[in-house]
Amino acid sequence: AQTVTQSQPEMSVQEAETVTLSCTYDTSESNYYLFWYKQPPSRQMILVIRQEAYKQQNATENRFSVNFQKAAKSFSLKISDSQLGDTAMYFCAFMNRDDKIIFGKGTRLHILP
Residues in touch with another protein (CB under 8 A): 33, 42-47, 50, 52, 91, 95, 98-106, 108
Q: Which residues sit opposite 5 in a β-bridge?
A: 24
* C-beta of 82 vs 106, nearer to another protein: 106
The answer to whether residues 5 and 21 touch, using CB atoms and an 8 Å cutoff, is no
* C-beta of 17 vs 61, nearer to another protein: 61
**Considering the complex, what minimum distance in angstroms separates the CB of residue 38 from another protein?**
11
**Considering the complex, what minimum distance in angstroms separates the CB of residue 72 from another protein?**
22
Spell out the alpha helix ranges (H) of the chain. none
The three-point CA angle 87-82-14 to 5° equals 80
**Considering the complex, what minimum distance in angstroms separates the CB of residue 18 from another protein?**
25
Strand, helix or coil at 84? helix
**Considering the complex, what minimum distance in angstroms separates the CB of residue 16 from another protein?**
27
Q: Report DSSP letters for 90-106, one per residue.
A: EEEEEE-TT--EEE---
* C-beta of 1 vs 72, nearer to another protein: 1
